[in-house]
Amino acid sequence: MSGAAALLVLADGRFPAGGHAHSGGAEAAVRAGRVRSASDLAEFCRGRLHTAGLTAAALAAAAAAGHDPLVLDEAADARTPSPALRRTARRLGRQLMRAARATWPGPDLDALAAARPKGAHQPVVLGLAARSAGLGPLDAAQAAAYESISSPATAVVRLLSLDPLEATAVLARLAPAADEVARQAEAAAQGAVEELPAASAPLLEITAEQHAAWQVRLFAS
Amino acid sequence: MTEAAAAPRSAASVSARARITAVPDGRGGTALPLLSGAGPVAPRRTRSADPAAARVTLVGAMSAPLSGDRLALEVRAEAGAALRVDGSAATLALPGRTAEPARYDVRLEVGEGGRLHWLPEQLVSVRGSRLRQHLRAEVARGGRLVVRDEQVLGRAGEEPGRLSSRLTVRYGGRPLFDQQLDLGPGAPGWDGGAVLGGHRAVGQLLLVGTEERDAGPLLARPLGESAVVTPLAGPALLVTAVAPDALRLRHVLDTALTFTSW
């Protein structure tokens, strides 16, 4: 790791990459009554971390390790059956790309932005941004794993009027699991792209399309 | 025509392999030059409702896999052949005498203009069992594949075992779909609101090689409260469903089987 501070900048919820507008499926889970309390939130986040979180962390680690970002973008498509989630991932990827090119400009980011003008999958951009910032695969995986739980936790504070201290405690208790997921992702990124984890969560896939069709919603996804 | 089980690695485990190859018979139908396998995965040719297609039913699947078993199946529908593979009964993943998980590996191959329906019965994860399943499919451009995958977590009212599965599909040599599920005690968060949320059956129906004329406009849409139809980034349509039990899961997936005329 060249600098812990660069990782803090990249993973900061205030980094202007648009993540605050997304709940990571939590809004649909709250509406369906599946998340009503801090303990429901913890189980939701644990499931998301080990499924979508692991998959994203592995893609990010692989991009940071220097795998071809276009091959990773195709792998991300194959791992994202929901069109709503693909749209979200590309929109977030485009926003992160804009912020990353302003923050840590570099030829790798320029090349991916030119090849995918409408946005590459966010974890791929995240990994490449980490690389451009001088960070390594484990750092990229850490940022992706953390983000997979921080989005729903932050959103549920607003959706349920949950005590923010409780939501933060949920995140803190999941920290060792997030570290473990990041280590798994980094290890997987040393292998072939086709062997990268493809862990998925059926309810996240199912509710993403329902949520995208709502007329009124607090979060974009 | 059987192929004896290969040497088991221990007294408590079986290794079994079955292979099916379908080719056009030159008269508008499909022949099966290779149909081999024994024990837990025994394929039998059965009567097909579709004169163009051959049908094979996997029989004797009731008592396996046990933990430690290794089962492998290879199914090929060569260019222009039409094959439907189904099962005579649900498969029960059962605890064995070893802590090592059972492995069930399926390889499907579809040639150009070929058509393969892979429609096994449900896989039931019984308490104390451990199973890792990997289905890999390679579909040539212009081939069509239907895969049904149904997982039931425990028999009625029973805790499930641990079931890890992966479904990897390539179309025209490129990745099309890749998805893993890890369910049951020990899989972190598996029963929370992101993954199964108390449902005990999860399943998918994947239609590969779709074009608009086959599947109607390829729009994502909910299928009731707990299922969704999603067009993949490539030429395929996926139905994902969760349900309280196997019966209700099958009901949803059966609805989706009518999406194409294949």
| Domain locations along chain B | 15-198
Task: Say what the pLDDT of residue B255 is.
Answer: 84
Q: Does the interface ipTM go beyond 0.85?
A: yes
B164-206 pLDDT tens trace: 999 999 999 999 999 999 999 999 999 999 999 999 999 999 9
Would the CB atoms of A203 and B187 count as touching at under 8 Å?
no
Query: In terms of pLDDT, which residue wins out, A75 or B95?
Result: A75
Q: Taking residues B228-234, what's their average pLDDT?
A: 95
Cβ–Cβ under 8 Å, residues B65 and B94: yes
B88-136 pLDDT tens trace: 889 899 888 788 899 999 999 999 999 999 999 999 999 999 999 999 9
Distance from CA of A198 to the nearest CA of B (A): 5
Would the CB atoms of A43 and B193 count as touching at under 8 Å?
yes
SS3 at position A169 = helix
Rounded to a whole number of angstroms, the CA Rg of chain A reads 16
Task: Say what the pLDDT of residue A83 is.
Answer: 96
Q: Give me the residue from B180, B188, B240 closest to A206, CB to CB.
A: B240
Q: Give me the residue from B166, B189, B202 closest to A202, CB to CB.
A: B202
| DSSP secondary structure letter of residue A52 | I
Q: Does residue A144 register a pLDDT over 60?
A: yes
Instruction: State the average pLDDT for chain A.
Output: 95
Least confident of A10-14, A71-75, A111-115, B52-56: A10-14
Q: Give me the residue from A46, A82, A203 closest to B196, CB to CB.
A: A203
Task: Say what the pLDDT of residue B219 is.
Answer: 80
Q: Does residue A2 register a pLDDT over 80?
A: no
Q: Give me the residue from B178, B190, B241 closest to A79, CB to CB.
A: B178
Would the CB atoms of B232 and A29 count as touching at under 8 Å?
no
Q: Give the whole-number percent of chain B exceeding pLDDT 70.
A: 90
Distance from CA of B192 to the nearest CA of A (A): 5
Amino acid at B228: V
Interface membership of B220 toward A (CB under 8 Å): yes
Task: Say what the pLDDT of residue A1 is.
Answer: 47
Task: Say what the pLDDT of residue B41 is.
Answer: 79
Q: Does residue B4 register a pLDDT over 50?
A: no
HSE value, Cβ hemisphere, 13 Å, CA-based, for B186: 12
B74-91 pLDDT tens trace: 999 999 999 999 998 898
Interface membership of A32 toward B (CB under 8 Å): yes
Cβ–Cβ under 8 Å, residues A72 and B229: no
Q: Give me the residue from A46, A200, A206 closest to B181, CB to CB.
A: A200
Task: Say what the pLDDT of residue B42 is.
Answer: 87
User: Residue A12, Cβ neighbours under 10 Å: how many?
Assistant: 12
Question: Which domains, and CATH codes, for chain A?
Answer: 4-210 (1.10.4190.10)
Provide, as residue numbers in chain A, all residues whose Cβ is less than 8 Å from the Cβ of B191: 43
Q: Give the whole-number percent of chain A exceeding pLDDT 70.
A: 99
Interface membership of B226 toward A (CB under 8 Å): yes
Task: Say what the pLDDT of residue B217 is.
Answer: 56
Q: Does residue B10 register a pLDDT over 90?
A: no
Interatomic CA distance for residues A100 and A130, integer angstroms = 9
For B38-110, list the strands marked E by DSSP.
42-46, 54-59, 70-77, 82-87, 91-93, 102-110
Q: How many cross-chain Cβ pairs, A to B, lie less than 8 Å apart?
A: 132
Q: Does residue B8 register a pLDDT over 80?
A: no
Q: Taking each helix axis as running N to C, give the angle between helix A164-189 and helix A137-160, from 0 to 180 degrees, rounded to the nearest 10.
A: 150
Query: In terms of pLDDT, which residue wins out, A15 or B200?
Result: B200
Task: Grade residue B256 by pLDDT with cuts at 50, 70 and 90.
Answer: confident
Would the CB atoms of A74 and B168 count as touching at under 8 Å?
no
Interface membership of A69 toward B (CB under 8 Å): no
User: Residue A31, Cβ neighbours under 10 Å: how many?
Assistant: 15
Task: Grade residue B9 by pLDDT with cuts at 50, 70 and 90.
Answer: very low
Q: Nearest to residue A124, comparing CAs of A107, A105, A104, A143?
A: A143
Strand pairing report for B15-24 and B82-87:
unpaired
Task: Say what the pLDDT of residue B7 is.
Answer: 40
Provide, as residue numbers in chain A, all residues whose Cβ is less than 8 Å from the Cβ of B168: 194, 198
A100-139 pLDDT tens trace: 999 999 999 999 999 999 999 999 999 999 999 999 999 9
Q: Does residue B62 register a pLDDT over 70?
A: no
CB neighbours of B39 closer than 8 A, spacing ≥ 6?
B5, B14, B16, B60, B64
Q: Nearest to residue B33, comparing CAs of B50, B41, B45, B42?
A: B45
One DSSP character per residue, B106-119 reads EEEEE-TT-EEEEE
One DSSP character per residue, B146-203 reads EEEEEEEESSTT----EEEEEEEEEETTEEEEEEEEEESTTSTTTTSTTTTTT--EEE
Q: Does residue B214 register a pLDDT over 60?
A: no
Task: Say what the pLDDT of residue B3 is.
Answer: 38
Q: Taking residues B137-143, what's their average pLDDT?
A: 97
